[in-house]
Amino acid sequence: MTDSEEALQILRHSTSHLMALAVTQLYPEVHLGIGPATSEGFYYDFQTPRRLTEEDLETIEKKMQELRSQDLPFEPSIVSKKKALKFFKKEGEHLKTELIEERDGEILSCYKLGELVDFCTGPHVFSTSQLGAFKLLSIAGSYWRGDEKREQLQRIYGTAFPQEAELRDYLDHLEEALKRDHRRLGKQLNLFSVADRVAPGLILWHPKGAKVRELIEGFLRLELEKRGYQFVYTPHIAKSDLWKTSGHYEYFRENMFTLPLDEEEYVLKPMNCPGHILIYQSSKRSYRELPVRIAEFGTVYRKEKSGTLHGLLRVRGFTQDDAHIFCRPDQVLDEVTQTLDLAEHVLKSFGFDRLEVALSVWDPAAGKDYAGSPEDWKNAESVLVQALERKGWSYERCEGEAAFYGPKIDVTLVDTLGRSWQLSTFQFDFSLPERFNLTYVGTDSKDHHVVMIHRALLGSLERFMGVLIEHYGGAFPLWLAPVQALIIPISEKSHHYALEVQKALREAERGPIRVETDLRNEKVGYKIREAQLQKVPYMLIVGEREAESQTVAVRNRFQGEQGSMKVEELATLIYDLVDQKVVEEGH
């Protein structure tokens, strides 16, 4: 085996077949689904007579090791579709039979591994002795073909690498990711929760999580207002006719929540753009008024499948940091360049220095599937390329990846663990200006269609918050920390002075510092350990000596003891670090 990505995929796909053989030998009544390789490993879906548990993974993995040692060959064969159907029907493999029935052509590929015969195009390694190091990771529920109305299956996830050392490195990486899992930290740090009594995929923001979200929104609002954006609010519900005009009803209907009201159909908004369009249309616009930049922290609702919901990263109700720019053609290049500048500034302010960029363009051969003329697409692509060149950014060109309504730039950040998260998007739209007849009065006193740009910096506040928690492992930088300092009195005698310090910091000249006081009847060491678990940036220890000198003994969550400081000196330190948006070493 080589180190190529293709070879790794072959290795992992072959290992998924080994797992399928092990499962069918251990549990003969299972039915096979599909078992592809993935970017992180592999999985296989099974319809099982009983629910498999995490304990079963050890048994399956042990069986896989035993089978691998037998040096079983992967035997390919080309058979007729008719013969394959006859075989899999006889075996009772109705899921495989369904896949074969849908396949075009009269012949197909199968692979035999020991007693396992699988409908598969391959390729595979020659024999099980060529398989490397592998590990089964987890079991999750799934549905056949991703359809909640179809058979419920169990999906076993695993990973495989050519060498044992590579597997160990990956498992160490997984362990670190588990420590940083935003769902676990969200509970530990009391940031948010999801309650079945509300609904899956809808977030309850606790005070600390709400504070972080408020700080994110406040920072964004200030940056946008500096750049001429105007904030609006739009309703959470609207008549379905609006979504029919926008095209969302036709293209997005299965993801929309609808409800009857006054003998009409209403929709919980899945997008903010129609509301912003109606605000733009509320008055006649002159070329002198453009560009018009409309922004909103707008909450939207989408009918995501329950199996796809994942903490803050995949939800049914979320708030977009949404904006739409309505401008003249001669303004587009400057507007796009400025939005790229803004995205870079915002993401770096949150501590993300590694950015990756993709340019998604149309496929001219499928021109009839896209809104706008070929000239529109050529001009829009040219503008996006010029903006990227102005920035000096390298980018990946993605042919045929554009949405039907226009080309776009996507900015992806890379987190502490090297994972990529696509957040910022800058999207041309040729469709909505036509659908809503969005115009301005030009210098010739005639109406002209505006150029419309969709723009999001963080994507959604929920998803960004999940990324942020995992990036920092819950230890938010000082400017975002919900509690910046915790005052810990040594004894009850120091409670009065501790509360004086709290009052002074909350009423400090340059604005309140987010500070709390731990007055519990517990030992100082215990309180410090609790504060460390809560990721509080500063612990301020106060006793009789500190009360006499009007100081606090400062402890930093990463660097430990920092010595004594006057309260005013500490406040200045915190203000300066917040202003600079410093990220501490050790997060």
Q: Which among 510, 519, 518 is positioned nearest to 568, based on CA atoms?
A: 510
Consecutive H or E run containing 395: none
Q: Which strands sit side by side in the sheet containing 116-119, from one edge to the other?
A: 74-80, 107-113, 116-119
Residues catalogued as catalytic: 273, 302, 320, 322, 324, 408, 454
Q: What are phi and psi of 483, to 5 degrees?
A: -125, 115
Q: What are phi and psi of 105, to 5 degrees?
A: 90, 165
Residue 261, C-beta contacts closer than 8 angstroms, at least 6 positions apart: none
- Relative to beta strand 485-489, strand 447-449 is unpaired
The DSSP-derived string for 349-378 is HTT---EEEEEEE--GGGGGGSSS-HHHHH
Q: Alpha-carbon distance 45 to 30, whole Å?
A: 10
Q: Which among 548, 566, 345, 377 is positioned nearest to 457, based on CA atoms?
A: 345
- What are the b/e assignments for 251-261, b being 16+ CB within 10 Å? ebeeebeeeee
Which tokens belong to 240?
Answer: 């379905």
CB 405 within 8 A of CB 373: no
565-570: long-range contacts, CB 8 A cutoff, minimum separation 24: 567/501, 567/504, 567/505, 570/485, 570/505, 570/538, 570/540
Which tokens belong to 581?
Answer: 């948006």
